[in-house]
Amino acid sequence: MRQPGALHDLRPFSIKTKLGTLVVVSVFITTGLLMIAVRTETELRFITVFSVIATLLITQFVAHSLTAPLDEMNTVARSISHGDYTRRVRGAGRRDELGDLACTINRMADDLEAQDQHRKELVANVSHELRTPIAALRAVLENVVDGVSEADPETMRTALKQTERLGRLVETLLDLSRLDNGVVPLRARRFEVWPYLSGVLKEAQLSGAAAAQRQGMPSGSGRHTRTDVHLHLDVSPPELTAHADAERLHQVVANLIDNAVKHSPAHGRVTVRARRGPTPESLDLEVLDEGPGIPESEWHKVFERFNRGTAAGKHGPDNDGGTGLGLAIARWAVDLHGGRIGVAESTRGARIQVTLPGIP
């Protein structure tokens, strides 16, 4: 590792070292030529001319080695400012300050290229997600207007489902936008974990049952319509308390439960487990299901936006796949608390772990 301060400034290949070496070499050349002039009785003007020429040649060589990389960095930086993130600076392997600067510019270009790609994918995915319910809603309304179908309750329920899907998607995107911009306040408070999580699980059961009772086209809203999956709550000790934003934590738990239920087998079981964390009022949460699990190669992509997994939609009767935004919402809500969320090893099904830090 490179050390800061004076030792860092005097490293063997730094620019300061090179400039110092240039001065020393120039002095030695001049001194040597003067000694030769004294011994050979050569005129001083010839020695002065030779000394100046030699010093200029050495200076030109050193200056070129320093300015050439700067010219290339300037060209690459100008390309980046114009939206071309594919250019990279050569010389990142140099062992001086210019090498450090080249590495920094290349890392910046990598980050900007990744952000630009993410932006393009986000626009494409949002357009696709919005187009599907809009097309379905338009088809329903056109059938009613053209007299193909009657505006009966069943048709109106189908139109309502697509409208709800649009509303849910827009609301989710707004939540992500607020989180990205850091405008979501964190209203943390102390609460009892058992009654709180019991309410979240009961709401998830009622939401799934209500969705399952609807008829017509599937809503595609991302919420499950399963009634055969059993939700189990395991809190220890029963009087466990935590310090967090209840509304944001609700988003985390509800989205994790929804994801687990959708990937559970018929008559499967989803367990929400809560334990006391290592610090005061901290909380360790786990959501486990009995589905096919998540391949380790996919762990790093689970919480990406619009990610549905390679096997999405193949497990259980509820296979619409959703929008792929629920787990991204969960990750951002946990990050807002300063906590951690991730996939853990499990002998059966998927296991998502959440750690909230409690009182700061």
| pLDDT tens for each residue of 298-323 | 887 788 766 655 544 444 544 444 55
Q: Cβ(196)–Cβ(253) under 8 Å?
A: no
Q: Cβ(128)–Cβ(122) under 8 Å?
A: no
For residues 67-97, b (16+ Cβ closer than 10 Å) or e, as one string? Answer: eebeebbeebeeebeeeebebebebbebebb
CB neighbour class for 60 (10 Å; exposed up to 12, middle 13-18, buried from 19):
exposed
pLDDT tier for residue 203 given thresholds of 50, 70 and 90 = confident
- First and final CA of the chain: distance in angstroms? 32
- The residue whose two tokens read 């309410």 is 199
- The residue whose two tokens read 């003067």 is 34
Distance set, CA 102 to CA 5, 94, 98, 109, 114 (Å): 21, 9, 6, 11, 18
CA 133/CA 125 separation, integer angstroms: 13
pTM metric for this prediction? 0.55
Q: Which amino acid is at 72?
A: E
pLDDT tier for residue 147 given thresholds of 50, 70 and 90 = confident
Mean model confidence pLDDT for the chain? 78
For 29-162, strand residue ranges (E) read none
Range with the poorest average pLDDT among 92-101, 262-271, 280-289: 92-101
CA 324/CA 306 separation, integer angstroms: 4
Distance set, CA 196 to CA 13, 149, 234 (Å): 61, 45, 12
Pairing relationship of beta strands 188-192 and 230-236 according to DSSP bridges: unpaired
- Is a pLDDT exceeding 80 seen at residue 120? no
CA 221/CA 226 separation, integer angstroms: 14
Among 202, 245, 209, 206, which residue's Cα sits nearest to residue 226?
209
Residues 128, 220, 203, 154: is their CA dihedral positive or negative?
positive
Residue 232 DSSP one-character state: E
CA 92/CA 89 separation, integer angstroms: 7
Q: Is 315 or 284 the better-scoring residue by pLDDT?
A: 284
